[in-house]
């Protein structure tokens, strides 16, 4: 357990360090009063707003947030504290991505990626889960060693009407594999940098604020709403580092199980963070962990119907 916790803390510290460096550069260029926010949202920086109640308006507000984020990284040998540090990693990713919008109102223009989703689109996607049209949301990230197996997993989620967000090189791999990403395909490419995972995380988070009546700053209420109302899970493909693990811990703090396709050994948490190296089992195990499917009970001797 301590190895996993150490990885989460180390990764969270690294993510916050990257966010702080990007913020420092932005302040030097624009000044602390420079307004900053994601486009087409009433939440400014949605995750920071939801978890802390801070309505970010300018770069100076983000600088104040950094200190509070660092305080969450306690380095205590406690899983709950480590998951809290994982939330800090997600907030760091949100800052890193948000600063991109200072330079370009559409930083994903020309790429096969949507970037930040407007409130209206995020609410509409979340509503499909709330009303039962879609059973849940999947976040797939990384770079698969085998494109064909990745595509098979994504298409299986499509066939089950599961909203599937893509982050990283898996986007290009799915394009190469002929996965449909237009119209009502249920597959949404978000961004190529690992920090773009925040765009998926804020979909259920904004649903909690805009549709669920959760109060900004009430982290426990928010996390419980997402966990119980909008089932979400994460699949990672390929190698992962400490920053990936810290971001995964942030997702786990919202009740999202994480399935990786490399052997994590003793770093696994049964039912929460598991290695599934056989891709033919990825979908079933992910759905079972997210409580979207009952586990299959193996047939035992004597169970078969008599001839």
- Using alpha carbons, select from 278, 237, 228 the residue that is nearest to residue 258: 237
Residue 92 pLDDT > 50: yes
Q: d(Cα 133, Cα 185) in Å, to the nearest integer?
A: 13
Average pLDDT over residues 147-171: 96
Average pLDDT over residues 169-186: 88
Residue 260 pLDDT > 60: yes
Quick check: pTM over 0.75? yes
**pLDDT value, residue 299:** 61
Residue 301 pLDDT > 80: no
**pLDDT value, residue 259:** 98
Edge-first strand listing for the sheet containing 232-237: 187-191, 163-167, 137-142, 232-237, 258-260, 273-275
**pLDDT value, residue 304:** 45
Radius of gyration for the chain, computed over Cα atoms and rounded to the nearest angstrom: 19
- Using alpha carbons, select from 18, 5, 56 the residue that is nearest to residue 35: 56
Residue 305 pLDDT > 50: no
Q: How many angstroms separate the Cα of 72 from the Cα of each of 67, 88, 164? A: 9, 7, 30
Q: How many angstroms separate the Cα of 209 from the Cα of each of 42, 137, 148, 193? A: 10, 18, 38, 26
3-class SS of residue 300: coil
**pLDDT value, residue 183:** 64
Residue 147 pLDDT > 60: yes
Runs of H (alpha helix) within 104-118: none
Q: Among the listed ranges 44-53, 59-68, 181-190, 212-221, which one has the minimum average pLDDT value?
A: 181-190
**pLDDT value, residue 190:** 96
What does pLDDT average to over the chain?
93
3-class SS of residue 118: coil
């Amino acid at each position: 357990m301590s190895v996993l916790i150490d990885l989460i803390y180390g990764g969270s510290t690294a993510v916050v360090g990257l966010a702080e460096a990007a913020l420092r550069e932005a302040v030097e260029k624009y000044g602390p009063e420079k307004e900053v926010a994601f486009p087409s949202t009433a939440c400014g920086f949605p995750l920071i707003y939801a978890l802390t109640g801070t309505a970010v308006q300018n770069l100076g507000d983000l600088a104040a947030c950094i200190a509070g984020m660092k305080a969450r990284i306690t380095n205590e040998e406690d899983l709950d504290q480590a998951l809290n540090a994982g939330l800090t990693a997600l907030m760091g990713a949100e800052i890193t991505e948000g600063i991109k919008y200072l330079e370009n109102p559409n930083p994903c223009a020309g790429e096969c990626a949507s970037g930040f989703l407007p409130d209206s689109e995020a609410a509409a996607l979340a509503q499909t889960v709330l009303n039962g049209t879609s059973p849940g949301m999947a976040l797939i990230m990384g770079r698969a060693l085998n494109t064909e197996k990745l595509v098979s997993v994504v298409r299986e989620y499509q066939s089950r009407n599961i909203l599937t967000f893509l982050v990283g090189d898996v986007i290009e791999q799915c394009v190469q594999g002929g996965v449909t990403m237009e119209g009502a395909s249920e597959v949404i490419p978000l961004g190529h940098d690992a920090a773009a995972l925040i765009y998926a995380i804020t979909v259920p988070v904004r649903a909690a604020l805009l549709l669920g009546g959760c109060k900004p700053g009430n982290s426990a209420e928010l996390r419980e709403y997402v966990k119980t109302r909008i089932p979400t899970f994460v699949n990672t493909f390929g190698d992962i580092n400490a920053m990936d693990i810290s971001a995964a811990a942030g997702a786990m703090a919202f009740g999202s199980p994480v399935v990786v396709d490399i052997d994590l050994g003793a770093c696994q948490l049964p039912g929460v963070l598991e290695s599934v190296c056989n891709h033919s089992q990825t979908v079933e195990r992910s759905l079972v962990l997210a409580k979207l499917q009952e586990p299959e009970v193996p047939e035992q001797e004597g169970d078969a119907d008599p001839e």
